[in-house]
Amino acid sequence: MRDQRTSATRRAARFSRLPVTLALGASVLLSVGAGPAGAAKGPADLPNLQAALDTLKSTATHDAVCRFLSAPVPGGGSPGAVVTLPAKADPCEGVPSFTIKDPVALNEVAPAFVAGTAQPTLTDAVKLAYAVAGVTTSAGRTATVLLAPTGTTGWHLAAVREGDTDATYAGKADLATTVFSEPQIHGYYQLKLTTVEPLNDAARQGLNGQPSVSLADYQKLVKGRYADKQPGSEYDTKGFSSGFGADRPHSSTSSAPLVLGGSGAALALAGGAVGLLRRRRARLR
């Protein structure tokens, strides 16, 4: 009888510990599963984050931001007007102090998705376009540094834009939301599973005023807008296209970065010469 009671007691003890063991096991599995997913959002979803940080902290990027901030805030002006800025031995002379924030991923609607040759899924709808970092100055002016991928492991300075819109919207992504832009209309959207929602007025207009659409319906909208405006099309070769080209922020005649301002302005840096050029804005029908 004693042996039977002992055996029953041991079995009861094992069963009493089973829920705890299962709970602990589930907790470990959840922790393991959540770790990589959490790390894949925010700055860490950039390939080779350290390379992006190193590029942002480089002297070349610092001097490029100084040159950009040396230019007046872009305003009006006739198309094609060029403003020559005096070259300075120290590009940061007279420039307010500024801080460059950590980079985040800026996704854009993918060309194949727009062409209708890709499926309306998250992996096919958007592509990583840039690493972007907001710039804030002591004078209150803001800007954004854009880094473009170099191969599969590195980053290089692509542009500096007036304002921090790109970085602000890109920073809204989280574990459940992917943020992407439709650069042709300066629209920003968030994608939750297969639902596209606008984040700014341009995006709301892009969805014809609807509060949300399915990813499949959004594909129909952008296909109608841009399918005939892909790289190599007449629309593109005549210089009206403002998107899709992987190298669109780069100068076609120089290895120096093309630094973009607001309102269609472009600040081109070529050696010591700096000029402010007004670009034609895209007209999308």
CA-based nearest residue to 275, from 89, 71, 12: 71
Instruction: Mention every residue, 6+ apart, whose C-beta is less than 8 A from residue 275.
Output: 82, 83, 84, 85, 267, 268
* pLDDT at residue 262 greater than cutoff 70: no
Q: Which two tokens stand for residue 166?
A: 């790109």
Give the pLDDT of residue 74. 64
pLDDT band at 236 (very low <50, low <70, confident <90, very high): low
Which pLDDT tens digit goes with each residue over 215-230? 999 999 999 998 776 6
Percentage of residues of the chain with pLDDT beyond 90: 49
| pTM higher than the cut 0.75 | no
* pLDDT at residue 140 greater than cutoff 70: yes
Give the pLDDT of residue 203. 98
Give the pLDDT of residue 178. 93
Instruction: Report how far residue 7's alpha carbon sits from residue 239's, in angstroms, rounded to the nearest whole number.
Output: 85
Which pLDDT tens digit goes with each residue over 69-124? 988 776 655 444 455 555 778 889 989 999 999 999 999 999 999 999 999 999 99
Picking from 4-18, 104-118, 130-144, which range would have the lowest pLDDT averaged per residue? 4-18
Which pLDDT tens digit goes with each residue over 16-28? 443 333 232 322 2
Give the pLDDT of residue 105. 93
* pLDDT at residue 148 greater than cutoff 80: yes
Percentage of residues of the chain with pLDDT beyond 70: 60
Which pLDDT tens digit goes with each residue over 57-66? 999 999 999 9
* pLDDT at residue 195 greater than cutoff 90: yes
User: 251-273 b/e with 16+ CB inside 10 Å = b?
Assistant: eeeeeebbbbbeebbbbbbeeee
Give the pLDDT of residue 232. 55
Give the pLDDT of residue 172. 93
CA-based nearest residue to 186, from 74, 81, 281, 279: 281
* pLDDT at residue 275 greater than cutoff 80: no
